Structure 1
């Protein structure tokens, strides 16, 4: 006879241990790919905002488009990187 009060915590601990082992098996290539992806996610939106802002400043009389779109790009890039990192923490 088995006691369910003892079996359930043991099964839960085994499942947690198996999950920890599986998560640690991420290879060097996958880690480098993640770092590269985060770099592109953080750098490209501010650059796009900078170029778009410079173009708008040249075509209009205002001077605030470059700075405002640069900050918007920084915000969007950091938000996208945060979401990319957060994807790995949710269990399916």
Structure 2
């Protein structure tokens, strides 16, 4: 028998009361944080929207200025609009990745705590 199977076999199975207690704790925690999660989600959508919109508008504004003062064959407005959009998308991706890592870390801590309580 390998070591993992041995550890699993020798562990005492949690009782029904322990399982119910863990589930009740999770449910109470979810209920107490539900309002906070809604506002957090809306705030994150706003943050991501603005993190894309602002660089796009700044790029377009600079492009309009450059096209107005330094006319050329190419449209700086379009080029800088696309550059601003790309920068904004990268910025939004950064924020989402950061929040995803924080959520994963929170789940790991919660799972370890529940595992240690058993």
TM-score of the superposed pair, with normalisation by structure 1: 0.70
- State how many pairs are aligned: 78
List gaps (5 residues or longer) in structure 2: 15-21, 107-118
The answer to whether structure 1 residue 73 and structure 2 residue 84 are counterparts is yes
List gaps (5 residues or longer) in structure 1: 11-16
- 1:47 aligned to 52, 57, 63, which one? 57
d(CA) in 2 for partners of 1:23, 1:36? 23
**Stretches of 4+ aligned residues off by more than 3 angstroms:** 21-26
Judged with a 3 Å threshold, the aligned counterparts in structure 2 of structure 1 residues 38 and 61 are, in CA distance, closer, same or farther, namely same
Corresponding residue for residue 5 of structure 1 = 7
Per-residue CA shift, 1:3-62, capped at 9, x if unaligned? 97225xx9xxxxxx9xxx579945211111101101101111110001000001111022
- Give the superposition deviation at 1:89: 2.2
More helix by share: 2
Question: Which one has the largest radius of gyration?
Answer: 2
Q: Give me the CA root mean square deviation.
A: 2.7
- 1:87 aligned to 93, 98, 118, which one? 98
- 1:32 aligned to 7, 30, 42, which one? 42
